[in-house]
Amino acid sequence: MTEKNATKPTWQEIQEKKINMVKERGSRVLKINSPLGSTMFNILRQFDMAYINFKARLGELDGISHQEGEAFMAEGREIVIAFSDYTERLSKRIRFRYYPPREISEFMRAEQETASK
């Protein structure tokens, strides 16, 4: 290992890496103003990495069965919807307009259509 590789990256190198990451497809830039939001962002970042590995092991021998995978995804949807509901209640209380993500609205609409059949 060279001496340069053993040292911590410089501030400029870190900034360049962040700028390059922003240019990647699927990347998001988010300014976080609350301690709770910062904690949730850290969890979300780790969830996203775990999800990649989850998808890679889904249906594999010694991996996760499709049935177990479906259960994990159903639980994840419930958590996301619960957080959306919480955010909506908080927003109403402080008279702030909350826009539920389109994906949640579409999922809820599909659930209602399935239930009415």
Share in percent of the chain as helix, strand, coil (round to 5): 70, 0, 30
**30 with 42: CB under 8 angstroms?**
no
pTM, entire model = 0.74
What's the gap between Cα 112 and its chain centre? 25
Per-residue pLDDT of the chain (117 residues; tens, 9 = 90+): 455 557 899 999 999 998 898 888 888 888 999 999 999 999 999 999 999 999 999 999 888 999 999 999 999 999 999 999 999 999 999 999 999 999 998 988 888 888 887
What are the Cα distances from residue 64, in Å, to 56, 58, 72?
9, 5, 10
What is the residue whose two structure tokens read 């958590």? 79
pLDDT on residue 28:
85
The token duo for 77 is: 């949807």
